[in-house]
A and B are shown apart, each in its own frame.
Chain A
Amino acid sequence: MWNQFIIYPFTNVLLWIYNLIGHNFGIAIILFTILIRLITWPLNAQQLKSAKVMQDLQSDKDWQDIQKKYAKDKEKLAQEQMRIYKERGINPFASCLPTIIQFPIIIGLYQSITHALAATPLGLLQLGQSIYPFLNAAILIPLNSQFLWMDLSKPEGIPFPAGMSVPFLPYGFPTLAIIVAITTYLQTKLTMPPTSQNPSDQGAAMNSMMSIYMPLLLGYFALNFASGLAVYFITSNVLGIVQYASMGRVNWRNVLPGAKPQPATTGRKK
């Protein structure tokens, strides 16, 4: 089911773009990522709007009053929070619903790139079996996986000088993994929502952790897996920043080391 409805259609669109632009898989990944971002733009916009409403609520006087008043009575606090939601017409789940809807798309996009970059006989056989008849698979295969200095089907690395080797960097200097880590860090920091100055605010602590773990995690993927995925990560990160910036949600000051998370400075009032 997952393959038939997500992976195979995505792969065929990816290959269709690849065929259309003259057999450059790197450009195809970038264009496909942009296409998916455009399709999911309304969902992202909805998510950001809902998040903004929830953030504004954190600084609302009524909201803060009930937090203090019922700090020791969780049940009553929940009732009061629901009352405020109801009175103001806020759906507390509205910000996470678009995210949930987007996850299958993001994971499908990611898997379709891996699927198309078949590096083994079994991978190539499965790719061939999933290509729709409107694409001439015999002409398309093998995919041209060379993009700039990279072979997109392999982990990226610029070879070290002759005689030099680093045990944990078997593919050379990991340029792409570093760019993935930096862009992920930037996206996480720039799009981090404003949080309270309360040191016990677990949300702030979690956000801070995510800004460290996500760049490391995606940097690790880029270091060890096919570089086509790293191209996707970088494109997705840059587009995410662009989208947030266009909606006035980017917090440029958050990038500075030790900076407290700030609300958007370029923001338009929503």
Chain B
Amino acid sequence: MKRWTVIPLIVLASLLLSACTGAASSSTWPGLTADKDRVYLADGPFVYAVRLADGVKAWQYPPDKAGTSTFYSNPVLTPDGQLLVGSSGHDYGLYSLDPASGNPKWAAPFTATDHWVAPPLVVGDTIYAPNNNGSLYALKLATGQLLWSAPTTSGESLWGSPTTDGKLIFVSSLDHFVYAVDPQARKVVWKRDLGGSAPASPLLASDSTSVYVGSFASKLYALDAATGAVQWTAPLKDWVWNAPALVDKTIYTADTSGNVYSLDAPTGKNTWPEVKPDGAITASPVALSNGVAVATETGSLYGYKPDGSALWPPVTIGGKIYTTPVVVDDRIIVAPMGAQYLLYAVNAKDGSLLPWHFSNK
């Protein structure tokens, strides 16, 4: 009796184990960017270019299902007409595509030793690409050739896009630190402990004197861009996952308990009463002409005026929204996970859901 009962159970367990186990690069939320003509969506095995005019797919890369590439990192448009996107798959490739056709522009993708989560930064003719292996790579923009690499951290993952003041490259790390790298000297000139992992991209102040960055220590820091000295610390209620948004002298940020904050940039003081939509927030708030929009894990989009009051009624999109929306003209493009469509468009002026969407089916 034993063998007849145990064997089917072992087979069942094997099926459960295989079904429930993700490969090292299992899925996460999609990457999103846009120009005036197209929206670029990195979602699993493909990068899609979708026409803004009608929501029709312009191209996908690769044309057929790829072997080891999976794309979730935010694609980046470069001034010289490239679309850079890193693979989260085991190919560890950073790809350059033609935004118009989807054809590769480099002879071969640049290959690191680990996958890519952070979108790269382009300064002049150099790409600064942080990798999951903890290194910051400097690549030649035209060809993707390696110029140099700096193991800036303890080897922990770099998930946030770098930013620059023109002199230093600022990059945050899951190892709790934010680093300032001098690209000329190719070395770290300062680093600051944030008390928790920082998957968020740092944000540079409009006068380039401060760097704003949040962390899992439930704080947002303002750091002196030149020295890394703490200028102020704003206590929040939960983890900060993404970069804050800066509008004039106001910093908008949010946490994973679903609180939205409006901080005075010079002092860090929260100027809003409690503003708490209906779910965790990992996406950055996005600036609108008349306020700010915030997407929540529960699949809704909220609009707020500068005083914290509602700009328009919440828009229910569905699925779960973790990706930072992009704003093109008066449209807010949203990429939820697990919704009916991969992309939706919301009217930024009145919050109405537009008859524009994209599905890969």
In the complex, residue of chain A having the shortest beta-carbon distance to the beta carbon of B29: A122
Whether B36 is near chain A, meaning CB under 8 Å from some CB there, is no
Binds A, one of B12-20, B54-62, B353-361: B12-20
B282 touches A125 (CB 8 A): yes
B183 to chain A, nearest CB (A): 26
- Provide the residues of chain B in CB contact with A123, threshold 8 Å: 22, 26, 28
- Tally of chain A residues near chain B (CB < 8 A): 48
Q: How many angstroms between the C-alpha atoms of A47 and B6 in the bound complex?
A: 11
Q: Contacts A129-B280, A221-B21; is A193 near B3 (CB within 8 Å)?
A: yes
Name the segment of B103-111, B195-203, B301-309 touching the other chain: B195-203
Chain A residue at minimal CB-CB distance from B13: A103
Question: Which of chain A's residues have a CB closer than 8 A to the CB of B26?
Answer: 119-120, 123
In the bound complex, CA of A154 to CA of B92 (Å): 13
User: Are A99 and B9 within 8 A (Cβ)?
Assistant: yes
Which residues, 45 to 77 on A, are CB-close (under 8 Å) to B? 47, 50-51, 54-55
B256, A119: Cβ atoms closer than 8 Å: no
- A122, B28: Cβ atoms under 8 Å? yes
**Which of B17, B27, B159, B174 has the most chain A CB atoms closer than 10 A to its own CB?**
B17
Q: Which residues of B contact A125 (CB under 8 A)?
A: 241, 256, 280, 282, 322
In the complex, the answer to whether A96 meets B18 with C-beta atoms within 8 Å is no
Known A-B contacts A125-B241, A128-B256, A142-B157; the reply to A96 vs B216 at CB < 8 A is no
* In contact, A206 and B28 (Cβ under 8 angstroms): no
A121 contacts B1, C-beta separation under 8 Å:
no
> B27 contacts which chain A residues (CB < 8 A)?
120, 122
Report the Cα distance A137→B215, complex, angstroms.
12
Assess the A221–B18 pair: CB atoms within 8 A. Answer: yes
**Contact across chains for B2 and A193 when beta carbons are under 8 A apart:** yes
**Which residues of chain A are within 8 angstroms of B90 by Cβ–Cβ distance?**
170
- The answer to whether A120 touches B216 (Cβ under 8 A) is no
Known contacts A138-B196, A141-B196, A225-B24: A54-B2 contact under CB 8 Å:
yes
Q: Is A93 an interface residue (CB 8 A)?
A: yes
CB-CB under 8 A from A128, the residues of chain B are: 216, 239, 256
User: What's the A-B contact tally at a CB cutoff of 8 Å?
Assistant: 123
Mark B157-196 against chain A: 1 for CB-CB distance below 8 A, else 0.
1010000000000000011000000000000000000011
Select A129's contact among B7, B22, B196, B256, beta carbons within 8 Å: B256
Contact between A225 and B23 (Cβ–Cβ < 8 Å)?
A: yes
Separation of A141 and B176 alpha carbons in the complex (Å): 9
Give the docked Cα–Cα distance between A222 and B68 (Å): 18
Does A95 lie at the interface of the complex (its beta carbon under 8 Å from any beta carbon of B)? yes
Are the C-beta atoms of B217 and A138 separated by less than 8 Å?
yes
A99-B5 contact in complex given A107-B17, A141-B196, A221-B17, C-beta closer than 8 Å = yes
Chain A residue with the shortest CB-CB distance to B175: A142
* Other-chain residue from B7, B175, B282, B337 in contact with A206 (beta carbon distance below 8 A): B7
B300 within 8 A of A: no
Any B CB within 8 A of the CB of A124: yes
- Contact code string B108-124 (vs A, CB < 8 Å = 1, else 0): 00000000010000000
A154 near B21: Cβ-Cβ < 8 Å:
no
0/1 per residue, B16-57, Cβ < 8 Å to A? 111011111111110000000000000000000000000000
Contact at A107–B216, with CB atoms within 8 Å? no
Which of B28, B195, B256 has the largest number of chain A CB atoms within 10 A? B28
A50 closest partner in B (C-beta): B2
A contact residues around B239 at 8 Å (CB):
128, 138
Q: Which residues in window 220-249 of A have CB below 8 A to B?
A: 221, 224-226, 229
A155 to B23, CA, bound (A): 8
| Residue interface mask A132-154, B partner, CB < 8 A = 1 | 00000111011000000000011
* CA A47 to CA B17, docked complex, whole Å: 22
The minimal Cβ–Cβ distance linking A37 to chain B, given in whole angstroms, is: 16
Any chain B CB within 8 A of the CB of A255? no
- Interface hub of A55, A142, A153 (most chain B Cβ within 10 A): A142
A91-119 to B contact mask, C-beta < 8 Å, 1/0: 01101100110010011001100100001
Q: Is B152 an interface residue (CB 8 A)?
A: no
A sample of 5 inter-chain contacts (CB < 8 A) reads: A99-B9, A100-B9, A103-B13, A123-B28, A170-B68
Interface residues of B (CB under 8 A from A): 1-7, 9-10, 12-14, 16-18, 20-29, 68, 72, 88, 90, 117, 156-157, 159, 174-175, 195-197, 199, 215-218, 239, 241, 256, 280, 282, 322, 337
The 8 A-B residue pairs with the shortest CB-CB distance, nearest first, are A96-B5, A138-B196, A120-B28, A122-B28, A95-B2, A51-B2, A142-B174, A203-B3
